[in-house]
Amino acid sequence: MILVSIMPGVRIIKIVFDTELKEYEIPAFRGAIIDKVGREHVVFHNHIGDDRFHYKYPVIQYKNQGRKAAIVCIKDGVDEIHHFFTKNSGEIRIGEEKRSLRVESVKINRFEMEVTESFFYYSIRNWLPLNEINFKKYAALDGLIEKSLFLERMLTGNILSMAKGLDWTVEKPIEVKLQNIKSQTRINFKGNRLLAMEVDFKTNVFCLMISAWARAQAWDMEQSINLNNYDQIFIRCQHTGHTGLYFSDE
């Protein structure tokens, strides 16, 4: 008998607008939505005051979907998104340009995660696992095995951080095994030079989308899910202090 540790279902709403949005414009889109809603609604930006960050799981997330602007509402964010709709005038300013902001599609779903005795395969790219301190520790490691173990701990920490943010008490050990480091690139992110990676790994944590948001295919009785930077299921930049939930319906 296979024993599992299952997280209670979490509500998700994904709203796609008719607004053309390039990937690099996502921060500007986020800022414009926050200005429209009002900074008193903390779930839209996770900041307390001008220089304090609220280290809580982001339940309102901003992204582009097929070159269109999108907002993902998770858990409490589902209840808070009405603050946006009461303020939306049908247009938004991205930089110096006014653009239409009308709803093109809405998807309402639930997802679950579970820890099982089986392994599931994942791929992520543009993963930023290391803050400045951890990068120095990683660079000082002597061999590939040591570096792989270090990254496995980062991945495990990401998963546990997300579980905590979603009020999921993980009752069974999480296992993560790095399979391949496909690429490593230094990028600028919020004024910092960070190491972005594309990696393959397997874990006994399965993220089940009760929809087609996470594209998956069977692989030897296990599961393979391909993810990219803005369609990650449970990995976000470790240095921000919290994880993010991302998914794709492509």
pLDDT at 145: 93
Average pLDDT over residues 203-210: 66
Instruction: Indicate the pLDDT class of residue 220, thresholds 50, 70 and 90.
Output: very low
Residue 91 has pLDDT above 90, yes or no: yes
Q: Please, what is the end-to-end C-alpha distance for the chain in angstroms?
A: 34
pLDDT at 116: 87
Instruction: Indicate the pLDDT class of residue 7, thresholds 50, 70 and 90.
Output: low
Max Cα-Cα span within the chain:
60
Domains, the chain? 5-110 (3.30.70), 116-240 (no CATH)
Burial class (CB in 10 A: 0-12, 13-18, 19+), 151: buried
Instruction: Indicate the pLDDT class of residue 21, thresholds 50, 70 and 90.
Output: very high
Give the predicted TM-score (pTM) of the model. 0.68
Residue 57 has pLDDT above 80, yes or no: no
Give the whole-number percent of the chain exceeding pLDDT 70: 74
Residue 218 has pLDDT above 60, yes or no: no
Q: What is the mean pLDDT of the chain?
A: 76
Tokens of 150: 């270090």
Q: What is the DSSP string of the chain?
A: ----EEPPPEEEEEEEEEEE--GGGHHHHHHHHHHHH-TT-GGGT-EETTTEE--S--SEEEEEETTEEEEEEETHHHHHTHHHHTT--SEEEETTEEEE--EEEEEEEEEEEEEEEEEEEEEEEEE----HHHHHHHHH--SHHHHHHHHHHHHHHHHHHHHHHTT----S---EEEEEEEEEEEEEETTEEEEEEEEEEEEEEEEEESSSSS-EEEETTEEEEE--TTS-SS---GGGTS--------
Over residues 106-162, the pLDDT tens digits come to: 988 887 778 888 898 888 877 888 888 888 999 999 999 999 999 999 988 888 877
